[in-house]
Chains A and B, each alone.
Chain A
Amino acid sequence: MQLTAKELKAYYKEIVSMVEEQKDYLCELDRKIGDGDHGVTMSIGWQAVNEKLDNELVAEEDCAKVSIMVGKTFLSAVGSSVGPLYATGFMRGAKAVKGKTVIEDKDLAEFWIAFARGIKERGQAEVGDKTMVDTLEPFANELEAKFAESGEFLPAFTDAVAAAKAGMESTKELVSKRGRSSRLGDRSIGAQDPGATSAYMILATFLNFVQAKTEQAI
């Protein structure tokens, strides 16, 4: 599989639309355990990214530079805790594909593993803390293991997204240990973590995007 910068930008556009559709749902999840603004925050950030995609980034052909700009723009627009987390993810991903105008299977695997592990490092959370890491850590481990076996990105990524989904769903049963919701203690049980959910959505959107691309090719 090959992805050009143009296609990568098209994927980022898909996130913009996805976030607008899911904004209310993410706020609803956040109201149960936080201050109810996760969807709004994501929307502010991705709308800012959208503007860059429509302007400064139109002619950009370097996949890494596109992703760096996405991360920086998102961070600058939102701050908050998701700002540094997702920004670090996209910027670490960018580092894994430095200088490339076309990214291939191995690059894609490295991009997403760096994305997930970068976020974990920035937030210092562990699996079980009821955060994005519950989605991202099993995802990165599965992607790494499956890609090492097959060397093919799409099937490995498909399995990894399934692991991400299971991780996201596991947050329902967890007691929050990080962020504002940690003060809820046992009362956080039963609510799915909004950060774990938006992280899954970003990954699932990429899966849909590459699946659609593969089908078109056939």
Chain B
Amino acid sequence: MKKLMNDSRYVVEEMVEGYVKAHPDLIKQLPENDRALVTAKETREGKVGVLIGGGSGHEPGFLGYVGEGMADGVAVGNIFASPSPDPILEVTKAIDKGAGVVYLYGNYAGDVMNFGMAAEMADLEEDIEVGMALATDDVASAPKEEKEKRRGIAGEFFIFKATGAAADFGYNLEDVVRVAKKANENTRSMGVGLTPCSLPQTGEPSFEIGDDEMEIGLGHHGEPGVEKGPLQSADEVTERLVNDILEDIEINSGDKVAVLVNGLGSTSRMELYTMFRKVEQMLSELGIEIYRSYVGDYITSLEMGGASITLMKLDDELIKTIDHPVNCPMFVQK
């Protein structure tokens, strides 16, 4: 393992410190908890607070998406591990402006427990109303009949985007949660893993794979996928991923979608745009309109090799949210 790091025990602390110092005009660390970050520009009175969070190692997820038009605050966990309730609660207190707070996170056992405990504390101890929406976009993580068991992967980006916009429009908590859930309902992702990442503390690869192999449906933390096989061409892999998504969600000719081709950390833009090319060909053959596209590293897994494709089916309301401008340290949309 080769990494530019100091003591492996402090990688998260040192990243957060650097991040806050790099963007003092945009991000503020709460004095109560080092892992609790909020927008430097105070959340508006009466606006629903949007709180995101999850493990570290997915940058720009999740701390990169705090800013105008997106999240108001983030709770930062250890590498690939949910944050504890403490930073979640501190962020909740800081961004509640009388309209309540919505928690957005991926459907992982740890996140469900920690965010759930924090929401209970916010209600009991602070009298802050909390709404929750979970991302379950990873088609490979469970069959369609058990959709509620699915994990959240790169599609979380679309859910943050839509929900952040809804809160910015001045929607009340109930409506913000409704939009978050609608965004999730309409979002599907499929990924492929090529090379593992290694955790700074162990230095061991997160999964085993041959030099000439790929793994379809590999999880964002190296959890094994649905199928391991010989590496195929970009077009073949893209076709497989898009077809798996289209089998799972009904998207018809004339429908509009937002597309995200997401790199997992060490996959080049050349590869990602090559994949996007094929996505565009397939969708245009089907008469599906690509309303907006995002290509790049949006939610990663340290230096893992591979990519995922996400489609979000859009209606008029989701179009409005996807068009909304954003100004975050790691993501700007004008």
Contact = CB atoms under 8 A, between A and B. Distances in A.
B206 A80 contact: no
A183 interface: yes
Nearest to B54: A79
Interface string A27-63: 1000100111101110010000000000000000000
Interface string B103-122: 00000111001100100000
Contact of A76 (B82, B84, B149, B207): B84
Nearest to A28: B204
Contacts, number: 101
A181 B142 CA distance: 12
Interface in A84-119: 84-85
B295 interface: no
A84 B219 CA distance: 23
B199 interface: yes
Contacts of B202: 24, 27, 36-37, 39-40
B221 interface: yes
Instruction: Bin the interface of chain B by size.
Output: 35 or more
A113 B59 CA distance: 41
Interface in B60-111: 77-86, 108-110
A154 interface: no
Contact of A79 (B77, B142, B219, B221): B77
A182 interface: yes
A181 B223 contact: yes
12 contacts: A24-B202, A31-B206, A31-B207, A35-B80, A37-B199, A44-B78, A75-B85, A79-B81, A80-B77, A80-B114, A81-B113, A83-B84
In the A-B complex, list the 9 residue pairs whose CB atoms are closest, starting with the nearest: A81-B110, A80-B81, A79-B84, A35-B221, A84-B113, A81-B109, A40-B201, A79-B82, A80-B110
